[in-house]
Amino acid sequence: MNLRNPTTIVDPDKCTGCGICLGVCPSDTLSLINGVAVVTGENSLSCGHCMAVCPTDAIEVKALDSEMTSFETFSLEKKWMKFGDFPTKDLARLIMSRRSCRNFKNNSVEPEILRDLIKLAVFAPSGTNSQGWTFTCLSSRQAVLNFGVTIKQFFQNLNKKAENLFLRNGLKLVGIKALDAYYKEYYASVKTAMDEMENKGLDRLFHGATACILIGSDKKASCPKEDAMLATGNILLAAHTMGLGSCLIGFAVEAMKADKTIQGKIDIPNGENIYAVIALGYPDETYKSITGRKKPIIRFK
Ligand SMILES: Cc1cc2nc3c(=O)[nH]c(=O)nc-3n(C[C@H](O)[C@H](O)[C@H](O)COP(=O)(O)O)c2cc1C
């Protein structure tokens, strides 16, 4: 089945022929024929712009599931927000108050909160609206710990290899510099973290988080990594508004990238790649103020 087949339906009795839908359609799916919008295109992004813009509710895009706009933990005002109709200072405060959380309480994160976070994630943009993302929830502390064991094993094995001078140099000789670079950059800190996990029972990987969301994309999506990271950004901000702390766990992503068997252990199919692992939980830390940031390079031409 062609995923681009239009699922758009126009009710000719409701359509006034205003043509506004044609102006916002990115894929020329609609034409005006005899004063009524008609589906004539063969490639639709199923973005729903036509449906959202229609003044008489004459259009429906069947591919869009209205359930995705119903939330379990809050009720949504479904009216579109006009440009400039949200206080930037409130958004700025939210963006700047989100901090990576590395101290979590023991409470579990309610599944309905995880489900609502995912609904908010999928309203991020995606390349050609492919929406090929996947979300794998580890919804108990035990599930996070089990996942942590596989990640820890990966780094223990990697450190063992990196300790081997002959192997490092040998690989370097044949142009493979990654192990040597890892040794110089990460080996010592990973070893310390592993030792602390082993001997002191500290959770240096997930910081005691009681849930994780693993965000992936179908490898066949047009921009899988970008899509996944944009969805991730939504979750990080939304989590803060829901009283949750969050922290990206890049170490887990790197391990899963290097050892594809890890995702199989938590039943994630081979056709997906994982691009972000978000540790979540009720925070056991608070901050007093918002801080500055390093100045980026900015160019105006
Ligand atoms: C791709 C990526 C991977 C990260 N991996 C980790 C990680 O493995 N462990 C961790 O504690 N923090 C991790 N972080 C969090 C960063 O350290 C954090 O975002 C940064 O220090 C800025 O702090 P803030 O998030 O509080 O603003 C990661 C962040 C990103 C963007």
Q: Is the CB of 100 under 6 A from ligand 1?
A: yes
Q: Which atom of ligand 1 is nearest to the CA of 99?
A: 26
Closest-lying ligand 1 atom to the alpha carbon of residue 252:
8
The model's confidence at residue 4, banded by pLDDT at 50, 70 and 90, is confident
Spatial CA neighbour of 243 closest among 116, 122, 86, 79: 116
Q: Is the CB of 229 under 6 A from ligand 1?
A: no
DSSP letters for 105-140: -SPPPPHHHHHHHHHHHTTS--GGG---EEEEEE-S
Give the mutation target among 190, 192, 247, 256 for probing the ligand 1 site: most ligand atoms within 8 A of CB: 247
Confidence of residue 2 (pLDDT cuts 50, 70, 90): low
Calculate mean pLDDT across residues 257-275. 95
Top-confidence residue, 221 or 289: 289
Ligand 1 close to Cβ of residue 251 (< 6 A)? yes
CA distances from 53 to 42, 58, 208, 229, 283 (A): 21, 10, 45, 28, 40
Q: Check: CB of residue 155 under 8 Å from CB of residue 257.
A: no
Instruction: Retrieve residue 130's tokens.
Output: 């492919």
Q: pLDDT by residue (tens digit) across 168-195?
A: 989 988 899 999 999 999 999 999 999 9
pLDDT in tens, 80-136: 999 999 999 999 999 999 999 999 999 999 999 999 999 999 999 999 999 999 999
Q: State the number of CA atoms in the 13 A half-sphere of 173 facing the CB.
A: 6
Q: Does the beta carbon of 250 lie inside 6 Å of ligand 1?
A: yes
Cα gap 298→290, rounded to integer Å: 22
Model confidence band, residue 221 (pLDDT cutoffs 50, 70, 90)? confident
More confident residue, 220 or 144: 144
CA-closest residue to ligand 1 atom 10: 249
On the question of pLDDT at 50 being above 90, the answer is: yes
| Model pTM score | 0.95
With a 6 A CB cut-off, is 206 part of the ligand 1 pocket? no
Which amino acid appears at position 5 of this protein? N
Q: In whole angstroms, give the CA distance from residue 74 to residue 166.
A: 58
Strands (E), the chain: 8-10, 30-33, 36-39, 59-61, 133-138, 211-218, 245-248, 272-281
Q: Pocket of ligand 1, candidates 94, 96, 98, 100: which has the most ligand atoms within 8 Å of its Cβ, to mutate?
A: 100
Tell which residue, 40, 99, 53, 137, has the closest CA to residue 289.
99
Residue type (1 letter), 18: C
Q: Which of 35-39, 150-154, 169-173, 251-255 has the lowest mean pLDDT?
A: 169-173
Nearest 5°: phi and psi at 52? -70, -25
Q: What percent of the chain has pLDDT over 70?
A: 99
Q: Is the pLDDT of residue 1 over 60?
A: no
196 pLDDT band, cuts 50/70/90, is very high
Q: For ligand 1, is residue 154 a contact (CB within 6 Å)?
A: no
- C-alpha 101 – ligand 1 centre gap (Å): 9
Distance 254 CA to ligand 1 centre (A): 13
Dist CA 30 CA 220 (whole Å): 27
- pLDDT of residue 3 exceeding 80, the answer is no
